[in-house]
Amino acid sequence: MAPSTKTSLFKPGMLGRDKAENTTSIARSIAEAEVAAREAKTARLKKLRLAKEAADEVARAAQPPAPKPAKGRAKRVG
């Protein structure tokens, strides 16, 4: 049997602080990616909304105004 040494019992690797920093950096990158995706979606939807509003305005201007209903004369009861 091999003698017990520090390297045979404990595998060298990341320290707790290194693991925490790694986790924090990964969480931040995920959050930043979500923010970027949300801002891109918002910009895309805003562009579509503005285009639709402009098209609606053009369509509204092209239509003749609707005639107002004629007011009826009051009937005399008598």
Look up residue 63 and give its amino acid.
Q
Question: What sign results for the dihedral spanned by CA atoms 23, 28, 29, 30?
Answer: positive
Q: What is the mean pLDDT of residues 55-73?
A: 83
Output the average pLDDT for the chain.
Answer: 85
- Give pLDDT, residue 30: 97
8 pLDDT band (50/70/90 cuts)?
low
CB 8 within 8 A of CB 2: yes
Task: Please list, residue by residue across 44-55, b when 16 or more beta carbons sit within 10 angstroms of its beta carbon and e when fewer do.
Answer: eeeeeeeeeeee
**pTM of the predicted structure, to 2 decimals:** 0.56
CB 22 within 8 A of CB 14: yes
- Give pLDDT, residue 69: 79
Q: How far is CA 55 from CA 13, 48, 50, 58, 59, in A?
A: 62, 11, 9, 5, 6
